């Protein structure tokens, strides 16, 4: 199977770039990730940490990215953090997610970062954050996530 997840090189210097290999490379990119302009920028699977870059511009009438889209970005950052940490063995379904909107999000690249704070047998706890290209913290989230065997969850 050809990987469908887009990855951005993690730049180690101005002239050198490396690709991040994760369990995400083994599954097709879902439509929601394509809609959000999702791509891996960096990852440390052993730490349960991932950085995702989003490129979408679903704005509200005021010209800012709609809050539901920001919530989707956070959800689509936190779940993959668990997936890569478990080397693709566990898929996630969100039980609860608390989002704090801190600043209006303008169209342009938005970076999501997530860290698995606790990985249990059936539940994981994950924290996420979104930042604008200028470093402005846009939103934070915490989530409790049900763990499901990926072999049973993925079609």
Position 57 scores a pLDDT of 85
What's the pLDDT tens digit per position in 142-152?
999 999 998 88
Q: What is the dihedral of CA 74, 76, 80, 82, to 10 degrees?
A: 50
Regions of the chain where pLDDT drops below 70: 1-19
What would the two tokens of residue 150 be? 């990926």
pLDDT of residue 19: 58
Report residue 42 as tokens.
Answer: 């960096």
Cα separation, 132 vs 134, in Å, equals 5
């Amino acid at each position: 199977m050809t990987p469908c997840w887009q990855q951005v090189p993690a730049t180690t210097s101005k002239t050198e770039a490396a690709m991040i290999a994760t369990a995400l490379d083994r599954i097709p990119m879902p439509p929601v990730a394509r809609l959000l302009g999702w791509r891996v920028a960096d990852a440390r699977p052993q730490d349960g940490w991932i950085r995702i870059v989003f490129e979408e511009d679903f704005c509200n009438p005021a010209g800012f990215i709609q809050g539901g889209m920001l919530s989707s970005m956070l959800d689509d950052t936190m779940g993959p953090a668990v997936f890569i940490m478990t080397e693709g063995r566990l898929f996630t379904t969100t039980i609860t997610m608390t989002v704090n909107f801190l600043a209006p999000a303008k169209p342009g690249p938005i970076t999501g970062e997530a860290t698995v704070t606790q990985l249990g047998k059936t539940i994981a706890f994950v924290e996420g954050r979104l930042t604008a290209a200028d470093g402005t913290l846009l939103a934070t989230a915490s989530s409790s996530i049900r763990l499901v065997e990926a072999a049973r969850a993925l079609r």
